[in-house]
Copies of this chain bind each other. A is one copy, B any other.
Amino acid sequence: MNTAATMQNSPASTAARPIDFYFDFISPFGYFASLRIDALAAKYGYTVNWHSMLIGVSVVKVMGMKPLLEVPLKGPYIAHDARRYARRHGIALVRDPGAPPVDPRPAGRAFNWLLQHYPEAARPFAQHAFAAYWLQGRDISDPAVVAEIVGESGCAGAQIAQGIASEEAGRLLRSNVEASLARGVFGSPFFIVGDEPFFGAEKMELLEEWLASGGW
């Protein structure tokens, strides 16, 4: 259980009914979900705890697959499906979902360090990092770019700049990725309500049915 991150995610996360939302910055559907999940949760009186995960660990190391975009048949489909979603929802992607992803770990380290030390800053950073990557085409594998995005999302200061690139940040990312795997999280986006798992942006309608009905 990702207890440490959950408890410190935001002041609102102390509410009785949290949804755990797992994402990878390089996942287009993780980005799409990030645009909707808070409003969906609020509609039913839930809060959302945001957690970064790494598809490169779950898919490649744990599940034994190739990187998703390199999987024959499935890779081209995923890219097509993401472009179709973006058109449908009027999201002006600058980065093509079929282009090779960058290394998401610098952004993941920053997110997890903020989650630990400035929990209220973690979600705004994630939102800015998603937009920087997908809407602005910026290279979030560059620690200098990540530091800029942290500043743009409202955090500033030498201590923060050092912290997000620290060994501690790497350790926090690794331990939270391990925690996500222990909860069964293998893709992005992934939602957990209580112990109930929902994988994929296309499961958000089912997630909504679950929230509305209390489950079945």
List chain B residues, Cβ under 8 A from A199: 77, 81
Q: For A62, A64, A74, A181, which residue has the most chain B Cβ atoms within 10 angstroms?
A: A74
Report Cα–Cα, A203/B87, bound state, in Å.
16
Query: A185 at interface (Cβ–Cβ under 8 A)?
Result: yes
Contact with B along A165-191 (1 / 0, CB 8 A): 000000000000000010011110000
Do B77 and A71 have beta carbons less than 8 Å apart? no
A45 within 8 A of partner (CB) = no
A73-101 CB contacts (< 8 Å) to partner B: 73-74, 76-77, 80-81, 84, 87-88
* Size of the chain A interface, CB-CB below 8 angstroms: 31
Q: Is the CB of B72 within 8 A of A62?
A: yes
Q: How far is the CA of A87 from the CA of B209 in the complex (A)?
A: 13
B186 touches A77 (CB 8 A): yes
Contact code string A185-215 (vs B, CB < 8 Å = 1, else 0)? 1110000000001011011011001000000
How many copies are assembled? 2
CB A197 to nearest CB in B, in angstroms, measures 6
The winner among A63, A64, A73 for most chain B CB atoms within 10 A is A73
Contact residues in B for A187 (Cβ distance below 8 Å) = 74
In the complex, chain B residues whose CB is within 8 Å of the CB of A66 = 64
A1 at the interface (CB under 8 A from B): no
Instruction: Indicate whether A72 sits within 8 Å of B76 (C-beta atoms), given known contacts A202-B202, A216-B87.
Output: no
Q: Are B202 and A200 in contact (CB under 8 A)?
A: yes
Return 22 A-B CB contacts under 8 Å, by A number.
A62-B73, A63-B71, A63-B72, A63-B73, A64-B65, A64-B66, A73-B181, A73-B184, A73-B185, A74-B186, A74-B187, A76-B184, A77-B184, A77-B186, A80-B197, A81-B199, A84-B216, A88-B209, A88-B216, A200-B202, A202-B202, A205-B205
With contacts A65-B71, A202-B203 known, what are 15 further pairs, Cβ within 8 A?
A58-B73, A62-B73, A63-B71, A63-B72, A63-B73, A65-B65, A73-B185, A74-B187, A76-B184, A88-B209, A88-B216, A200-B202, A202-B202, A202-B206, A205-B205
